Amino acid sequence: MKELGFFMDHEGNILYYGEWKEQYDKNNRHQIHSSSFEDEIETDELFQRLNLQYNKEMGLFGKAIAFALQGMVLMQNLTSQGENKAIMHVPQQLTEFQKKSFTDLYPILSSFDTVTTVIPKSIYINEEDKIGDIDTYYEMQGISKEKGKSK
């Protein structure tokens, strides 16, 4: 994945942010998770229309939990030093629109060695809130892995 991550609203609209680089430039806001999210997502009209409740001063992991608790998805590409991994914060219940978007995203998500999916019940994350395998998460949510097919 060439981006640092994506944000998905309850209607399945996806906004990508940042640019992933193995050797990133710490002075380039487009290559840093938090600043690229602020610059590219928080300023986007679609995002602003959602009127989400969260602390703008909070770090991206804290924002991810707040968004998931409000029905949104935030994925972060955490690939580094040859380890191809990601973390995704998702709501307890996906909408049908989100499930369709996840079907389209399967080739990207399955390309990671590890995608930890966090399904928060509150602002406090427990180990039972995490799923370490993307295929297990798709199975649990009844998400099709192939376009044009439904479960």
Give 8-36 pLDDT, tens digit per residue: 999 999 999 999 988 888 899 889 999 99
Amino acid code (one letter) for 133: D
CA distances from 24 to 15, 18, 27, 70 (A): 21, 11, 9, 31
Q: Read off the tokens for 2.
A: 């060439």
Amino acid code (one letter) for 17: Y
Give residue limits of the domains in the chain: 5-141
Amino acid code (one letter) for 139: E
Per-residue pLDDT of the chain (151 residues; tens, 9 = 90+): 999 999 999 999 999 999 998 888 889 988 999 999 999 999 999 999 999 988 888 889 999 999 999 999 999 999 988 889 999 999 999 999 999 999 999 999 999 999 999 999 998 898 999 999 999 999 999 999 987 555 5
| CA 137/CA 116 separation, integer angstroms | 9
| CA 87/CA 15 separation, integer angstroms | 16
CA distances from 114 to 11, 117, 149 (A): 26, 9, 25
In the chain, DSSP finds a helix count (H) and a strand count (E) of: 5, 6
Residue 81 is predicted with a pLDDT of: 83
Residue 148 is predicted with a pLDDT of: 55
